[in-house]
Structure 1
């Protein structure tokens, strides 16, 4: 229901306006309020905030333009709906009314009920549209401000990311140089130490051949010295192997590798261990028989894991080693499962792939093999998972990054 304020000191005119508008627009859709003076019109406008005010210019106390100016101070910023009614067709007065905030104007004696209704309806619709535009514009301004704020935040974040990425790039380059320097140092050290150790071994063999030791316990001392020299030689050799494998990785391209053929090579190289332990090697590679990978790296991975399965066999049973392949989410996976000694993962899991870590002191080894396996797999873009239970066996699950 629309509220219409009739501001006119002529009772007959107010009655005519009610009749005209009621018949044209429907009495049930309108709510009329009347003011007989300018002051009363201003007070009612402030309290009622009508949808439209039909304002006579010639009021007894003040003129319509003064009423318009006073009401405008309390009108919404997007405008008010006022139709000014004048007693003559004075164009200057009409212009002043429109400039003062009136929506339209009519001249008494020159409009009928239809024109009055159309003028009021148009004025209300125009004002409502202005209100809508104002609200929409305000909302749009708020959204634009949010977008500008978001853009500023994104720009700041992007700049921060660029700075951090540059810092990471610098750190990565520094780490790469450090790793290269470490590899060069280890390789040089192992290479330079190898000859002195061989010389010590030769001198020790000559000493044992020519010297006479009357004390029976001297033989035990000699045996311990020999074991220590052998362990030192093995450690130096393994260190050199790690660095050589890492250096070779960057110079070799991936190729199609047949798992059955590769395992045949591995089994051939481990023939003596397999025969002495009476181990049974089983292949289950029907799902994935061929992968795209650096052949030498995959051979080293399989050889170390298979060799460990034989080395850390359980003394009470024949070694059973299963090599199987599968696909997980499109990624090739190679498993090496054994029934050997197993590993206490709760105790040793965090240091499983660290260099020189050994978990079965009674078994010969330097703790280099698993470090090398993990390093090659990580360099290739994959990772290694381990399931193991002490006394029952271990499964190494190698996730190979699919090349190409």
Structure 2
């Protein structure tokens, strides 16, 4: 304790020198570590404060999204009823069409935000040992019409992987988003070729999803590629949320995703995650 009544922290270590004739004592060395302890306490306080703020922000986002869902759903229902009524005024028709489009977009945005919040909240969801090959085949079946329309060639060696602990809806969503992107953003007049290769090394599974599509200029997009509502190609179905979700799901599983891409050559996404 200091003279002013404040406490200080000491770090001490002892050494038994009783068997040493020259010393014949227990030696204790100490040093003051007050500054270090104060810094640790401040760090702990800041982490707790940030955690609480983050929790409150998530609650606010969740409540806001759900409170908006009901009136937006009602607006869509009302617009559906209006569609059934004949309207002769062309200006009114145009206004209602624009209002309907905006309402549908708002509803989709709310759905996207709720899906993101679900992923953020369910990071401790139970994992099961999953056969990645079976999941991949199921996703391909769901995309069969798109695959046939583009005449795409899709190969994989996922049968070389053992059953891996993963959250099933996450790996389904990851495969669905990456395959859909490879099919949507194909080069004109070029048959899509998609290769999915898996390897295991140092207790880590790595999956590469490579295509010969439009590609991207990484110098321009590398800092935005996994951002929310980021679009890099003109496509009517592009929402700019798929890669954001993939990254969030990979991070929730303790994994990572990276990308390499060359315009008019193709793109390769690399998924890495621990086997536990």
TM-score band (shorter)? 0.7 to 0.9
What TM-score do you get using the length of structure 1 for normalisation? Answer: 0.54
2:168 alignment counterpart: 295
Contact 2:205 2:274 in 1 (8 A): yes
Q: Give the whole-Å Cα distance in 2 for the aligned partners of 1:272 and 1:164.
A: 60
Choose the corresponding residue for 2:242, options 362, 369, 373: 369
Distance 1:277 1:202, change over 3 A: farther
**Does the 8 Å CA contact 1:321/1:338 hold for their aligned counterparts?**
yes
TM-fit CA distance, 1:357? 1.8
Q: Does 1:387 align with 2:260?
A: yes
Distance 2:49 2:230 in 1: 27
For the 8 Å contact 2:87–2:93, the answer to whether it is kept is: no
Q: Is the 2:253–2:273 contact (alpha carbons within 8 Å) kept by the matching residues of 1?
A: yes
Give the equivalent residue in structure 2 for 1:316. Answer: 189
Can you list the C-alpha shifts for 1:159-187, whole angstroms capped at 9, x where unaligned?
66655454444433333333333332222
2:112 is aligned with 1:251: no
Q: Is the 8 A contact 1:194 1:233 kept in 2?
A: yes
Matched, 1:186 2:61: yes
1:195 & 1:223 partners in 2: Cα distance? 21
Q: Deviations over 1:180-234 (max 9, x none)?
A: 333322222222222222222222232233142343x765655444333332222
Closer/same/farther in 2, CA of residues 201 and 328 from structure 1, 3 Å limit? same
Contact 1:260 1:289 in 2 (8 A): no
CA–CA distance in structure 2, aligned partners of residues 363 and 162 of structure 1 = 57
Question: Does the 8 Å contact 1:234/1:366 carry over to 2?
Answer: no
Deviation of 1:366 after TM superposition, in Å, equals 2.8
1:342-374 CA-to-partner distances (Å, cap 9, x unmatched) read 222111111211222222243433322211211
Q: Does the residue aligned with 1:366 lie in a helix, a strand or coil?
A: coil
Alpha-carbon distance between aligned partners in 1 of 2:92 and 2:59, rounded to the nearest angstrom: 40
The higher relative CO (CA closer than 8 Å, separation ≥ 6) is in 2
Distance, in Å, in 2 between the alignment partners of 1:191 and 1:220 is 29
- Given that 2:119 and 2:248 are in contact with CA atoms closer than 8 Å, whether structure 1 keeps it comes out as no
In 2, Cα distance between the equivalents of 1:383 and 1:337?
16
Counterpart CA distance in 1 for 2:139 and 2:186 is 18
Aligned twin of 1:331? 204
1:37-52 pair list within 5 angstroms: none
Matching of residues 209-248 of structure 1 within 5 Å:
209-215=84-90, 222-248=96-122
Distance 1:299-1:190 versus aligned 2 partners, 3 A rule: same
CA–CA distance in structure 2, aligned partners of residues 277 and 232 of structure 1? 31
TM-score by length of 2: 0.76
Q: 5+ unaligned residues in a row in structure 2: which ranges?
A: 1-28
Deviations 1:296-319 (A, max 9, x none): 322222222222223333333233
Matched residue, 1:172: 47
Residue 134 of structure 2 corresponds to: 261
Residue 104 of structure 2 corresponds to residue 202 of structure 1: no
SS at match of 1:249: coil
Question: CA contact under 8 A between 1:311 and 1:363: conserved in structure 2?
Answer: no
CA RMSD of aligned residues (A): 2.8
- For the pair shown, which has the larger CA radius of gyration, 1 or 2? 1
